[in-house]
Amino acid sequence: MDLEQAGDSEARFAAYVEGLTSVIGHPARTGPLRDYCTGLVLPGERKSVEPMAARTEPGKAAAQHQSLLHFVGNSNWSDRAVLDKVFEMVRPSMEKHGPLKFYIVDDTSFPKQGEHSVGVQHQYCGQLGKQANCQVAVTLSIANHAASLPVDFRLYLPKGWVNDRARRKKAEVPKEIKFMTKPEIALEQLRAACEAGLPRGVVLMDAAYGNDSQLRAAITELGLLYAVGIRSDTLMWRSGSGPRRKGKPMNNTGRRDEPDLVSAREVALGLLKKAWRTIKWREGSAEWLSSRFARVRVRVGHNKLDPKKLQSEWLLIEWPEGAKEPTRYWLSTLPKKVSFQELVDAAKMRWRVERDYQDLKQEVGLDHYEGRRWRGFHHHATLCIAAYGFLIAEQATIPPSGPRSAALFEKPSLPESYRPRGSARAA
């Protein structure tokens, strides 16, 4: 489907929603699907069900509220089918700016006040930058330099939830959902993307995922390349050296009796001055972003391969001018002949997912859902990604010199008597 052939923005939106209806199941869901997506893209501070009902059907807000609530919380339609259709329709717009070359793995958090929303517990909350009561979802996005789109979204269910039958039943967690770590969820998403025939990309991850040696090994087994963040204490052998002893393979968390093993930080501090280069990687809002980098070939141990069979890969290090020591480290299996510029560019491309999360929450209300159950949580996220996908496709229709933030639709007037509930979310 070429959305740009559908006329103005409202016609393109209608065509987009019509495409989604082909995988939504029962025809009776067509209206609620259209209205829910409309509510997500319309202006408005809150994108939870009640305010959206008032915006989309001001004269029948109560009935609309029940319709949207049932559609997102109870209807048994497939999140996977909708996400696949979204990518199918948005892909042509994204590829106008070049091939899709990257997979971005990350997670996003949703602060909560109580303890009853599915998956909520006291854990690290990236949105707040500290331990807090929240939900966490793992995502896989596909990207090029112009745009990125989530193609998979899965709630992380802590062990306390997995083993609590009463809470599982109340939140309607599917029986097949077992405990998986966030890296295990990410690997499952990558496998599914490869099996579905999505364009294969270089896998980008921060150190929370990249330091997992088993995940890196599994990515390589999938035939994918990676450029992933690691911690400064990750152990490795410099180029030209390697394990001397036979025995149990090592992992990244503990030093074995290997005299040549050093940390990434030790490698960085031992490099000569001529190893460092200032490289620009992206044009920012005011000027080009640049920093000082070095790269060196290393071999890194993990517990799935015989140490004697380890292949060399790139260690990329960032040490900004004026900093007391290096600030960031990456490992990459990009080819040995890759240019320094391309290596830095790949490592730095992970920033796109941060922009995705910001726009998904600020523009289409990803974090505004007030329900507590598994199905509603994922349905709302899927519809937010669908709305976001339309905005990506719509952006491709705007000439480079045109306005980038024009509203797509006029905001319907709200009845004078309507007062949305406050911004506090049910937990």
pLDDT band at 259 (very low <50, low <70, confident <90, very high): low
Backbone angles phi, psi at 326, to 5 degrees: -55, 150
Q: Model confidence over 177-194: pLDDT tens digits? A: 999 999 999 999 999 999
Dmax (CA) for the chain in angstroms is 78
Q: By C-alpha distance, which of 200, 92, 93 is closest to 142?
A: 200
Give the model's confidence band at 309: pLDDT under 50 very low, under 70 low, under 90 confident, else very high. low
Question: Does the pLDDT of residue 3 top 80, yes or no?
Answer: no
- Helices (H) and strands (E) in the chain — how many of each? 14, 12
**Chain-centre distance for alpha carbon 230:** 18
Better-scored residue on pLDDT, 181 or 257: 181
pLDDT at 407: 43
424 pLDDT higher than 90? no
Average pLDDT, the chain: 87
* Model pLDDT for residues 374-413, shown as the tens digit of each residue: 999 999 999 999 999 999 999 877 765 444 444 444 433 3
User: In this model, does residue 5 exceed pLDDT 70?
Assistant: no
Closest CA to 107 of 147, 148, 150, 136: 136
The DSSP element (H or E) to which 137 belongs, if any, is strand 130-143
Output the pLDDT for position 358: 94
Q: Quick: pLDDT tens for 364-382.
A: 999 999 999 999 999 999 9
Average of pLDDT values for 270-274? Answer: 94
What is the per-residue pLDDT for 427?
31
pTM of the model: 0.88
